[in-house]
Amino acid sequence: MSGRSPLRTAATGTIVVILATVVLAADQFTKYLALQNLPLEAAGARHRQLSDLLPHQERRGGVLARQ
């Protein structure tokens, strides 16, 4: 039983790149949709959690100074 001939290396690489690009785009799109559909309270709580990790800075005379 004869099958079709195998794909050339260049064609195989191109197919892999196209599939990887489609998967990455779908992943980024689902992340975008998830962030757009967060309730404002959840988004605010997440922002507060992230800002707690950053060093506190305050403005003194036009210059940011760490405390």
Q: Please tell me whether residue 21 adopts helix, strand or coil conformation.
A: helix
| Tokens of residue 1, six digits | 């039983």
Q: Detail the DSSP E strand segments found in 1-67.
A: 57-60, 63-66
Residue 23 domain-assigned (yes or no): yes
Residue 47 domain-assigned (yes or no): yes
pLDDT score, position 57: 57
- pLDDT-derived band at 19 (thresholds 50, 70, 90) equals very high
Residue 6 clears pLDDT 60, i.e. is over it: yes
- CA 23 – CA 29 distance, rounded (Å): 10
Number of compact structural domains in the chain: 1
Domain that holds residue 23: 9-66
- CA 14 – CA 22 distance, rounded (Å): 12
Residue 22 domain-assigned (yes or no): yes
Q: Give the percent of the chain with pLDDT over 70.
A: 55
